[in-house]
Structure 1
């Protein structure tokens, strides 16, 4: 059996796939168009560490993610913030992640009795059926049928949508509540996964160690997956500005979904399914200041839709002089074309209206994710089936990514595991 697998993309799905394939006796090679690994969970390397420019949080309940971390012997972890701070009706409201009676009463005041009851039922449903909430079968299909004719703003209390639900839709997919469907929200809600963690030495170190264990060609974009008689026969790879044909029987695409049509000539039905899956652009700004900006009581802020800012947090709970500004949502997208300097000026001005920045900025870095965060779409199960049915019809082709099992790194690795299992069983 041919043990070679050619992987497109060195993000978490691509490098995770390489890791699992290697453990199963395969010889993966990874092609990455950028000069370093990580994708949208990437980083900017500094003289004294890293700026994390994308996803960095994970749960110890993500078994596939922790398997890789343990294999790499990267096990120094930090805990995340203990509370949500949300701007609601012009005021900063605090909700502890482990809510007590005081928080429940305050929420009822802020989002109303109806909104509070709706939120409670939502969380209870998520916790009760979390193992059945997938886009292949089970409860989520029922939710699609009942709710996906309209976004969540048509089903839930206005104050609930503008407050807690917007926090999740913005953080998880860069989407406004009116752009979010209940099936998407239930699938992505982080309840029942345990406390979130980060690596003490940054996600950048994790990716660099992971990539060093595999054959990765950086600055090497794949231009086409060559398919003949419904079989993978090779790849068109660009090396130093020249395209070369690389013979291959197995190819695994781990790029964002909207990039797949650039690699394969697809049937119209598959193109339409791909177009139904939305990706919303965001920008992430890392900044460090001479003195602390956050404090023990407030280490993250979720802004409302009157701001260009979506969410801001301390890079670590013990680095209160660091701020990660996220520009997201409808209003945020309007600002993404600004220069780096104007963008951080805008972010600091809006942030200071809530929590003053009384310290000089030391350094900063702006990363625009114009390809966006995956926010799924209405009746996503139908789109996923069309896409997967096509992939299954091509011998030697597999896919993995944020549009299959969920948007986070753990879910990306679940899709990678499935792809690897298919190669093993072929």
Structure 2
């Protein structure tokens, strides 16, 4: 008879953990408070023909995502069509713009054109980034991080200096490039890690390799195609999904989590995996069983929240790429409002995604599907009037860049999403969107543990634990916790064969 395991939450890490646990012979049930799977990667449809991905839109590190499917005997193209974007994205500056081509040779030509010797420096940067990617993503981030002894291996020891763990990312980039546009281009990927480049280890140049070198992709139908595919794989392993099933309590007896209360009803389980917000999960326990107190969470550096607008335009917007980064204002000033002042920015940066440029299925013919995202401090007030003020600014800058006018009047669908929505939909601590920042003091063993220290059968997965924020790390996180559970409590089914 297999072990019966509950997974709380159907985000990327929950889907991953559930699939791997079920593959090992366990009986797995996933409980999701919302009506559809995916967590922050959900999708919604409008009555007038738009399809909006609600969260992730950058399909990077395709090899890591592919590894998930290969573990179950599939390829991603068994579920969806993946296209490479060219250009990968465009960056808008106060004095011009820069498009990153898909071809590496074209990338080298671009760097050389902007800065003499830039091509050779790009080669050096990417050669080192490739090494970090191969060691980091294949050896470093797959550890459960329950002890520093996990990292005592000849391979990691030999490569420790090359991993640049003690150098900060900004200094590392400036060793290679001097042109402000190239510096901004190379610093951009670490925004996903939730901290200023001054506070991120240079190890994370691996992001540049995983994105720029392996390409920026898009699944036709939207990023939600990945969620549907992962759910399908999990169901094929025998996973049972329960929607609109809010877990309101984790039930404990002595040092065991004996089950969960779902919409007020007790269900018994042998083990529990929480893929929901770590802090929220802890509130489902009596204080004496929590790994961390409120002071701990207050002392953490969180990645940003964000203001998102999902917009439908009854007008084709010219000169707009699939991904566009609006960097006309000072990057550090915006970062300071997130981590220092914790207030709304005066001169914000923002990001635009227009998937209808690539995918005709996400908007009616002759219309555009546009997703605007502006990073924000967590825990700030986000009433509708403030949201609207920033919408007007972002659309104004969109007009300037694309040479269009009066775009606000061409909106035929509008929905905003901000700090308070992250709290209500995902129980996100202070409305964070991307988990904990990947600073050196919050890396590996220094992240919240995947195991509850007082309850031997409660585990945590997702962006607030190892390896950190992002879709590929969340997939890895689910696999890590499944492997740890199977190691600690092998399936009773496995014991009999």
TM-score interval, normalised by the smaller of the two chains? 0.7 to 0.9
Matches within 5 A, 1:29-178: 29-47=29-47, 48=49, 50-58=51-59, 59-61=61-63, 62-67=65-70, 70=75, 73-99=78-104, 100=106, 101-108=108-115, 121-133=124-136, 134-135=140-141, 136=143, 137=151, 138=156, 139=159, 146-147=166-167, 152-153=169-170, 156-157=173-174, 159=180, 163-170=184-191, 172-173=192-193, 175-178=195-198
Structure with the larger helix share: 2
- Higher mean displacement: 313-322 or 16-25: 313-322
* CA shift in 2, pair 1:169/1:385, >3 Å: closer
Is structure 2 residue 223 aligned with structure 1 residue 182?
Answer: no
How far residue 348 of structure 1 moved from its aligned partner, in angstroms, is 0.6
* CA shift in 2, pair 1:373/1:286, >3 Å: same
Structure with the larger strand share: 1
Structure 1 stretches of 5 or more lacking a match? Answer: none
SS at match of 2:80: coil
The equivalent of 2:440 in structure 1 is 378
Distance in 2 separating the partners of 1:274 and 1:383:
19
Is structure 2 residue 272 aligned with structure 1 residue 251?
Answer: yes
Deviations 1:142-195 (A, max 9, x none): 857523xxx54466538368612442233x1454434x4125733544347723
RMSD: 3.7
The equivalent of 1:230 in structure 2 is 255
Q: Is the 8 A contact 1:14 1:254 kept in 2?
A: yes
Distance in 2 separating the partners of 1:267 and 1:295:
50
Q: State the TM-score, normalized to the length of structure 2.
A: 0.70
The equivalent of 2:393 in structure 1 is 346
How far residue 36 of structure 1 moved from its aligned partner, in angstroms, is 1.9
Deviations 1:110-166 (A, max 9, x none): xxx7x988765443222023222235533579857523xxx5446653836861244
Give the one of 391, 399, 404 matched to 2:460: 399
* CA shift in 2, pair 1:371/1:221, >3 Å: farther
Distance in 2 separating the partners of 1:141 and 1:336:
44
Q: State the TM-score, normalized to the length of structure 1.
A: 0.80
